[in-house]
A = this chain, B = another copy of it.
Amino acid sequence: MGLQQIPARRGKAVRLKQGERIRIVNTHGTQVVDFWAFVSSSMNEYMGMEQCRATWTRLFPVEGDRMYTNQRRPILTLEKDTSPGRHDTLMAPCDNPRYGLLGCTDYHDNCRDNLHAALFELGLYIPYTPASLNLFMNIPWQQDGSLSFDPALSKTGDYVIFRAELDCVCAMSNCPQDILAINNQKPVESHFEVLA
């Protein structure tokens, strides 16, 4: 099906068979892509950041790492990463109340609603929102435990490739955050493709 666009501020979901790969491209280099994965046969089993960190004993994934579900099974492998490799596992996907805390009084596009809309396009519904793997999101930590929301370190065309270890549903959201610095205050489109 070739390279597909994920529109700015919006999400997409796609089914992968075991062994298939998904390539997610940071088209402009500045865009954070929130990412989730669910086991096709049971949407209750999903990629869990708290389970991944416990097995990696690391705050972020590197090439070769497996992504673990809340049942501690590998669902994806990070096969390739051309970016500087800063992907965030710490921050919740943004949601409308989050923008309320940041001062917004009207509805704001957000990754949580994008996830559910993207799944709904595939006829899927889940009653919860797992923590996301925030691709290309640069959240440095300090030795005192402090965290900050910084611009992405990736460059135009950087991409990651994940291989499916199980039949799964992958969902992505171009983060519409335009208040904090993570997307250079300018949410844009990204692309993905499924590889055999």
Near B by CB (< 8 A), chain A positions 67-112 give 70-73, 90-92, 95, 97-98, 100-101
Cβ contact of A90, chosen from B50, B101, B146, cutoff 8 A? B50
Shortest Cβ gap from A183 to chain B (Å): 15
Using known A-B contacts A90-B50, A128-B44, A131-B50, determine if residue A58 contacts B147 with beta carbons closer than 8 Å: yes
Per DSSP, chain A at the interface is loop
Shortest Cβ gap from A137 to chain B (Å): 11
A145 x B58 contact (CB < 8 A): yes
A127 x B44 contact (CB < 8 A): yes
Near B by CB (< 8 A), chain A positions 21-58 give 44, 48-51, 53-58
Cβ contact of A145, chosen from B49, B59, B73, B101, cutoff 8 A? B59
Cβ contact of A73, chosen from B48, B97, B149, cutoff 8 A? B97
In the A-B complex, the 5 residue pairs with the smallest Cβ-Cβ separation, listed nearest first, are A50-B92, A72-B97, A59-B145, A50-B131, A51-B92
Q: Which residues does chain B contribute within 8 Å of A146, judged by CB atoms?
A: 57-59
Complexed CA–CA distance, A101 and B95 (Å): 34
Known: A53-B147, A59-B145; 16 extra A-B contacts, CB below 8 A, are A44-B128, A49-B50, A50-B92, A50-B131, A54-B90, A54-B91, A54-B92, A57-B149, A59-B90, A70-B92, A70-B95, A71-B95, A72-B101, A90-B90, A141-B141, A141-B145
